[in-house]
C-alpha cells in the first residue's frame, strides 16, 4: 500500500512541474514577440518607411539574422535543461523544437526574399487596342535593373528579352547601382555589351534614373544602341503607324507640374494620329497627365514596394502616387499607365536584394489595331 501511495504522490508532484515548464515557455515566446514588435515599431517610428535604406538594412538583419540566431540560442538553453532535468525532458524538448522550427523558418524566409524572389523575373503581358495602328507593335517595358554588379542574373534578363524579340524596348531608368568592390566604370561596359546583344526592329530608348548620375557624362555614342531621351522625343515609323515617344528628364518625372513644361510642347508638335507614349523614371508625373491626350505612360522607380504584405500592400513606394498605382497596368483617365516593379532591387547602402510578394518583372505591351481578332 505504501509503495502504491508513494508512486501516486510522485505522479501528482510531477504535474505542476510540467505546467511550470509550459508557463515558462509561453512567457518566453511572449517576451520574444514583444521584443520583435517593439524593435520593428522603433524602426518604423525612426523613419524606415520614408524610406530610410540604412534602417531597412538594419530591420532586415534584425528580423532575418539576429532574431533566428537568438531563437536558436534559446532552443539550446531548453535542450541543456532537458539533460539536467530528465523528468521534464519531454516538455523541454517540445519547447526546444518550437524555437528551432521558428528559427529555421526565418532563415528559409531570409533565403527566399534575398535569393529566390529577387531573381524570379516574371513577364507580365498587356494588350492595348488602338485605332492609331494598322499592324501590331510589341513593346518591352523594362525598368530598374539596378545591378550591384553585372552577373548571371543580369545575363538572364537580357537572354529573356532576346527570346521575346520585341519590336521596341523602352527602359524607364536605374540601370546600375554598384555595390563595392564594383564601380560604375567597371560595370557600365558590361551592361552596354548586354544591351548590344539585342536588336529590336524599332530601337531601344531609355530615360535617366537616379542611381547612376555618372551616366549623364557618358557620350551618347558609347551607349548605342540605347538612345537616351531626356526632355526629348523620338518619332518612330512602324509598319502599322507612327509612335511618338517622349522621355522626361529625371527632374521632370518627379512632379507633374515640372513634367508639364516638357509635355505640353511635345503634344503641340505631335500629330493626333500618332500613338503617344510618355515615359519618365518616377510615376509621380502621371498624376498630372490624366486629362491629356496621351495613349500610354510608362514609369518605374517604385519597385512595386519590393515588400508587399497581404491586405496591407507595399510598405513603402518612395513615391507620392496612390499605392495601387505603384505597380501594374491601369487606365488613369485618358492614358493607360504601366508602372514596372523593376527587373532588379534597390541596393542603396549595400542593401541586399530584398523582395517579398513582389517578384522582379518586365512587361510585354502589345499594341494592336482596334477590333483586331484575338
Q: Total structural domains in the chain?
A: 2
8: confidence class by pLDDT, cuts 50, 70, 90: very low
Rounded to 10 degrees, what is the CA torsion of 180, 186, 189, 193?
-60
Does residue 374 belong to any structural domain of this protein?
Answer: no
pLDDT at 2 over 60: no
Structural domain of 154: 122-369
**pLDDT tens digits, one per residue of 142-192:** 999 999 999 999 999 999 999 999 999 999 999 999 999 999 999 999 999
Is the same domain home to 58 and 126? no
Please report, for residues 16, 22, 101, 229, 366, the alpha-carbon distance to residue 281 in angstroms, rounded to integers and kept in the order given: 64, 55, 43, 11, 21
Is the same domain home to 140 and 89? no
Domain stop point among 91, 116, 141: 116
Is the same domain home to 365 and 269? yes
pLDDT at 4: 40
Is the same domain home to 95 and 239? no
Q: State pTM to two decimals.
A: 0.91
**pLDDT tens digits, one per residue of 283-309:** 999 999 999 999 999 999 999 999 999
Backbone angles phi, psi at 90, to 5 degrees: -60, -55
Is the same domain home to 101 and 160? no
SS3 115: helix
Distance CA 301, CA 309 (A): 19
Is the same domain home to 30 and 137? no
pLDDT at 15 over 80: no
Does residue 360 belong to any structural domain of this protein?
Answer: yes
Does residue 260 belong to any structural domain of this protein?
Answer: yes
Percent of the chain whose pLDDT exceeds 70: 94
Supply the CATH number for residue 350's domain. 3.60.21.10
pLDDT at 372: 55
Helix 89-111, helix 2-45: angle, nearest 10? 20
Distance CA 11, CA 269 (A): 92
pLDDT at 22 over 90: no
Distance CA 267, CA 270 (A): 5
Is the same domain home to 101 and 131? no
Is residue 160 exposed (0-12), middle (13-18) or buried (19+ Cβ within 10 Å)? middle
Is the same domain home to 11 and 126? no
pLDDT at 374 over 60: no
Across 246-271, average pLDDT: 96
Beta strands in the chain (DSSP E): 122-130, 137-142, 168-171, 204-206, 226-228, 232-237, 242-247, 275-279, 296-299, 308-309, 313-314, 328-331, 336-339, 361-369
Is the same domain home to 141 and 63? no
Is the same domain home to 138 and 106? no
pLDDT at 40 over 80: yes
What burial letters (b/e) apply to 195-226, b meaning 16+ CB within 10 Å? beebebebbbbbbbbbbbeebeeeeeeebeeb
Does residue 216 belong to any structural domain of this protein?
Answer: yes
Does residue 356 belong to any structural domain of this protein?
Answer: yes
Left if phi > 0, otherwise alpha if psi is -120 to 50, otherwise beta: which for 370? beta
Closest CA to 24 of 83, 99, 101, 103: 99
Does residue 79 belong to any structural domain of this protein?
Answer: yes
Residue of higher predicted confidence among 213 and 278: 278
DSSP character string of 294-345: -SEEEE-SSGGGSBEETTTEES--SSSS-GGGSSEEEE-SSSEEEE---SS-
**pLDDT tens digits, one per residue of 98-140:** 999 999 999 999 999 999 999 999 999 999 999 999 999 999 9
pLDDT at 88: 73
Is the same domain home to 163 and 95? no
Is the same domain home to 195 and 316? yes
Angle at 89 between CA 87 and CA 95, to 5 degrees: 140
Residue of higher predicted confidence among 22 and 293: 293
Domain stop point among 98, 116, 134: 116
Yes or no: say if 177 and 148 are a contact pair by the CB < 8 Å rule.
yes
Closest CA to 192 of 158, 229, 243, 234: 158
**pLDDT tens digits, one per residue of 75-84:** 998 888 877 7
pLDDT at 211: 92
Does residue 183 belong to any structural domain of this protein?
Answer: yes
Domain stop point among 94, 116, 138: 116
Amino acid at each position: 500500500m505504501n509503495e502504491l501511495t508513494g508512486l501516486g504522490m510522485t505522479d501528482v508532484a510531477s504535474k505542476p512541474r510540467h505546467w511550470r515548464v509550459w508557463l515558462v515557455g509561453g512567457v518566453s515566446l511572449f517576451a520574444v514577440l514583444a521584443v520583435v514588435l517593439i524593435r520593428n515599431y522603433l524602426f518604423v517610428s525612426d523613419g524606415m518607411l520614408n524610406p530610410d535604406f540604412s534602417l531597412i538594412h538594419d530591420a532586415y538583419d534584425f528580423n532575418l539574422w539576429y532574431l533566428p540566431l537568438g531563437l536558436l540560442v534559446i532552443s539550446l538553453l531548453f535542450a541543456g535543461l532537458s539533460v539536467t532535468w530528465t523528468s521534464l525532458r519531454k516538455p523541454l524538448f517540445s519547447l526546444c523544437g518550437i524555437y528551432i522550427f521558428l528559427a529555421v523558418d526565418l532563415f528559409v524566409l531570409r533565403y527566399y526574399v534575398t535569393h529566390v524572389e529577387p531573381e524570379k523575373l516574371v513577364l507580365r503581358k498587356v494588350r492595348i487596342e488602338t485605332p492609331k495602328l494598322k499592324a501590331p507593335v510589341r513593346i518591352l517595358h523594362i525598368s530598374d535593373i539596378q545591378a550591384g554588379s553585372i552577373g548571371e542574373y543580369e545575363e538572364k534578363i537580357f537572354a529573356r528579352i532576346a527570346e521575346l524579340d520585341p519590336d521596341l524596348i523602352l527602359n524607364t531608368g536605374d540601370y546600375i547601382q554598384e555595390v563595392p568592390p564594383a564601380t560604375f566604370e567597371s560595370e557600365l561596359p558590361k551592361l552596354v555589351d548586354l544591351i548590344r546583344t539585342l536588336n529590336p526592329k524599332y530601337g531601344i530608348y531609355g530615360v535617366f534614373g537616379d542611381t547612376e548620375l555618372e551616366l549623364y557624362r557618358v557620350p551618347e555614342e558609347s551607349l548605342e544602341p540605347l538612345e537616351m531621351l531626356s526632355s526629348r522625343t523620338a518619332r518612330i515609323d512602324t509598319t502599322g503607324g507612327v509612335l511618338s515617344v517622349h522621355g522626361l528628364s529625371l527632374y521632370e518625372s518627379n512632379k507633374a507640374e515640372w513634367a508639364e513644361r516638357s509635355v505640353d510642347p511635345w503634344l503641340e508638335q505631335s500629330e493626333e494620329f500618332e500613338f503617344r507614349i510618355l515615359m519618365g523614371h518616377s510615376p509621380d508625373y502621371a498624376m498630372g497627365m490624366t486629362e491629356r491626350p496621351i495613349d500610354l505612360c510608362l514609369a518605374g522607380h517604385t519597385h512595386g514596394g519590393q515588400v508587399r504584405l497581404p491586405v496591407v500592400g507595399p510598405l513603402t513606394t518612395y513615391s507620392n502616387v496612390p499605392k495601387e498605382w505603384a505597380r501594374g497596368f491601369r487606365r488613369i483617365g485618358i492614358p493607360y499607365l504601366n508602372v514596372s516593379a523593376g527587373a532588379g532591387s534597390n541596393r542603396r547602402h549595400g542593401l541586399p536584394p530584398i523582395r517579398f510578394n513582389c517578384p522582379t518583372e518586365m512587361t510585354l505591351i502589345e499594341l494592336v489595331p482596334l477590333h483586331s481578332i484575338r
